[in-house]
Amino acid sequence: MRIAVLRDYQSLSERAAALVSARIGKKPTAVLGLATGSTPLGLYRELVKAAQRGLVDFSGVTTFNLDEYYPIERESPQSYYYYMQQHFWGPLGICPGRAHIPDGRAGDIAGVCSDYEQKIMDAGGIDLQILGIGVNGHIGFNEPGAALSAKTHLASLSAETIAANSRFFEDRDAVPRRAISMGLGTIMKAREILLLASGSEKARAIGETVRGKLTTEVPASLLQAHPRVTVMVDRAAACCLR
Ligand code: GLP
């Protein structure tokens, strides 16, 4: 794992955007795995700015999001579809056929999950997967537990995640209890991974991810077994790494 500690959230976002832009510069048809949540917002803002200045070109890029709540309507402001449209696909004008996200409205969940895996394979696999991390060490919606799913699946949110994500909803009861998420195998197959974390509330999870044992109780710790991972954190999130 390469660890980069940045001064603050803005420096983290700029450095992450520089890495993503460099990879697209090298491979204009790159396949990106994308995350949602508060953490990558700065990265997306910087990438949109860079694209508007003509410094990076997303016209050949394909994207696959990590996860989506289930059930949820696309038009719901809390859906990850809406988030992506608002912060990334919309401003960049990414063609809908190239921007993928699990369908949170689906009736046939098993079909949606296997289709998603197939689409990733058909696109040639993920070149660069961007990840945030939950306070409990989850990635995507792969929550701590005795076992983890390898592939895209219907996941149950932990009480901790429901509490953390309730800030985006009216209240805790409004948070969907389930989500469709890439599995640990889907994530580990990416050729490169960029994990982002900001703020002291992520410090424990980052410490366990980088320095701890590999355990399904901290799903992100399994990234230690991946050959090409960069963990980019700000000082506050790095405080357990000293
Ligand atoms: C959510 C998402 C994750 C995200 C995590 C952290 O539950 N499923 O993909 O990384 O929470 O979110 P935030 O960046 O808002 O702290």
Q: Quick check: CB of 221 below 6 Å from ligand 1?
A: no
Looking at residue 156, its amino acid is S
Per-residue pLDDT tens for 26-63? Answer: 999 999 999 999 999 999 999 999 999 999 999 999 99
Per-residue pLDDT tens for 78-135? Answer: 999 999 999 999 999 999 899 999 999 988 999 999 999 999 999 999 999 999 999 9
What is the rounded CA–CA span in Å between residue 128 and residue 5?
20
Residue 122, both tokens: 């058909």
Looking at residue 40, its amino acid is P
Q: Are 13 and 42 in contact (CB under 8 A)?
A: yes
Looking at residue 120, its amino acid is I
230 beta partners: 2, 194
How close is the Cα of 143 to the center of ligand 1, in Å? 11
pTM for the structure as a whole: 0.97
**Is 138 among the residues known to form the active site?**
yes
How close is the Cα of 58 to the center of ligand 1, in Å? 24
Q: Quick check: CB of 69 below 6 Å from ligand 1?
A: no
Residue 153, both tokens: 């699946």
